[in-house]
Structure 1
Amino acid sequence: MNHSVAEIATDRASIYLQQLCKHFAHKLPVEFTPEQGTIPFSVGTCRLEAAAGKLVLRADAENADLLKQVEGIVERHLVRFAFRDPPEIVWRSAEQAAS
């Protein structure tokens, strides 16, 4: 399993989390609260967490190519929702994020 993490500085973390989850919930069995969410894509999973001043995205997939797909899907949609204040999204491997 491959993992990556993106920590995005924003005061709208919960709003973006809920927008992403509601958007994908039309086609996927998404679970979410204002603080946490899980989006199970066919290529992998994204877990979201809204904390004070940041949105944390955690992507998981079977291999590196699928992981890039999960990252890309989430990133494209988040940028679309946050068009007024585009976030800087930098994905790091889970190992890099832990250190």
Structure 2
Amino acid sequence: MTNPTTTSAAASVPTSHGSRYLQQLCKHWAHNLKVEFTADHGTVTFPKDARGADFPGDAVATFDAAADALTVRIDASSPEQLEALKGAVARHLDRFAFREAPLAFDWR
């Protein structure tokens, strides 16, 4: 990361398809972002200047799949970047989980 993160949020999203969604998300974002993943854990790095943004540093989204939930954690360099990524992650997950959408995100 370019700068240390300053703000974060996490949500546990109830679903029995967490591993499938994690892998779909990671494969989707691997086309233009730095991504590492297994069936149960994934990380996606969002550059500070992605899509014309100008945030203080990069952000990282971490995904962990369990039998009954997908846990999502976002570590961002600013509150604005955090809010933008919370929306982007939720929109993308809902797209892949269209049979279950909208998924319940209880961000903390």
TM-score between both structures, scaled by the size of structure 1: 0.89
Q: 2:26 aligns with which of 21, 26, 30?
A: 21
Runs of 4+ in 1 over 6 A off after TM superposition: none
Partner residue of 1:40? 45
Q: 2:107 aligns with which of 80, 91, 94?
A: 91
Partner residue of 1:3? 8
The 8 Å contact of residues 45 and 70 in structure 1, kept in 2 or not, is answered as no
Q: Aligned pairs, how many?
A: 92
Encode CA deviations 1:45-76: one digit per residue, 9 max, x unaligned: 10000012110000011111110111111111
Which whole-Å CA distance do the structure 2 matches of 1:90 and 1:29 have between them? 26
Unaligned stretches of 5+ residues in structure 1? 93-99
Q: 2:95 aligns with which of 80, 84, 89?
A: 80
TM-score between both structures, scaled by the size of structure 2: 0.82
Question: Which AA in structure 1 matches 2:76?
Answer: A
Partner residue of 1:66? 81
Alpha-carbon RMSD = 0.9
Which whole-Å CA distance do the structure 2 matches of 1:75 and 1:41 have between them? 15
User: What secondary structure does 1:30 align onto?
Assistant: strand
The answer to whether structure 1 residue 50 and structure 2 residue 65 are counterparts is yes
Q: Which structure is larger by alpha-carbon Rg, 1 or 2?
A: 2
Shift of 1:88: 1.1
The share of aligned pairs that are identical, in percent, is 45
Which whole-Å CA distance do the structure 2 matches of 1:73 and 1:36 have between them? 19
